[in-house]
Amino acid sequence: MNYAILNLNNIFLSLDELRALIHGNEREYLYGVAIYEGDPKIAQKSAFIKKSGEVLSISSDVKDIIEKVRGMCFSVDLNVLMREYKSYAIPIYSEIIKNVKTSRNCEKLDLIITEGKTVIAGIRKAEKDSKSLISHSKRPYTQSGTLNPELGRVMVNLSESREIYDPFVGTGTILIEAKWLGLKCVGSDIDLKMLSKAKENLKYFGYECDLFQADSRKIPIKKIESIVTDPPYGRSFSPKGLSELYEEFFYNASEHTNTLVFSTDFKFDWRDKLKEAGFKDIKIHMIYEHKSLSRAVYVVRKNV
């Protein structure tokens, strides 16, 4: 049995990312933390899961926790997920510290205080790889409104795929994250300048994906496991022109894949157009980025 500490600013997105990575549902959810079966190192692949590891004990009685860890050597990290429990957590932490040996050279013990004053003690096996996300944000080419690496990674994970195609490749954010995750990656764009920038960005990190010029409304690939993309939604399109672009893209995508993950400005509601194109299972996550942009991430499938 394992635990995953989620991003409190995006709990539902974090939980869905976990479910996508374990290809199933969690066994139990307590505020800010999920208990699940599967890979205890799941956090290292994630964008919104902060830490993960193996559960030693779950109890509201500190004596149960001490019984499991007594005499063992740990580097202890206290995680208080609810502010109102901070004063409660300190004596719990102190009591456990008295009964273990502490050293930075020993395994990391996460003490998680969550709803109902429940204490979860677990051996940390992985953390979110923030270094790679920071590195990917420093690519040679970027532009205003470019998808950030964290959002690109979570979108790729939400697809639950081994192979992704991005028909609006832009500067290559989604392909970079797909390749980092070890997936087969294919990308296209109607703009040759953007393709060139995406290629250089991929090359900068030593990554390689199949790239070619194509119109997103006439996808040249017969079948692809999933399409993950960030279509345009800026001022360069009129409302009518944007609606036509998306509608044609949805119909075309439906002919080539069962799974579509895309981001858009939260002001647009594409649910009716997606249903008309054959996508029946629709889930939407809202993500605030800054005062001038909040994104909606759609995860849609033809088969429920």
Domains and CATH numbers, the chain: 2-127 (3.30.2130), 131-301 (3.40.50.150)
Please say whether the beta carbons of 297 and 48 come within 8 A: no
Helices (H), 99-238: 130-137, 149-158, 173-180, 192-204
pTM of the predicted model as reported, rounded to 2 decimal places: 0.93
Query: Residue-wise pLDDT tens for the chain (304 aa)?
Result: 999 999 999 999 999 999 999 999 999 999 999 999 999 999 999 999 999 999 999 999 999 999 999 999 999 999 999 888 888 899 999 999 999 999 999 999 999 999 999 999 999 999 999 999 999 999 999 887 789 999 999 999 999 999 999 999 999 999 999 999 999 999 999 999 999 999 999 999 999 999 999 998 888 888 999 999 999 876 556 667 788 899 999 999 999 999 999 999 888 999 999 999 999 999 999 988 776 678 999 999 997 5
Which residues are registered as beta bridge partners of 119? 59, 113
Question: Could you give the CA distance from residue 69 to residue 101 in angstroms, rounded to a whole number?
Answer: 10
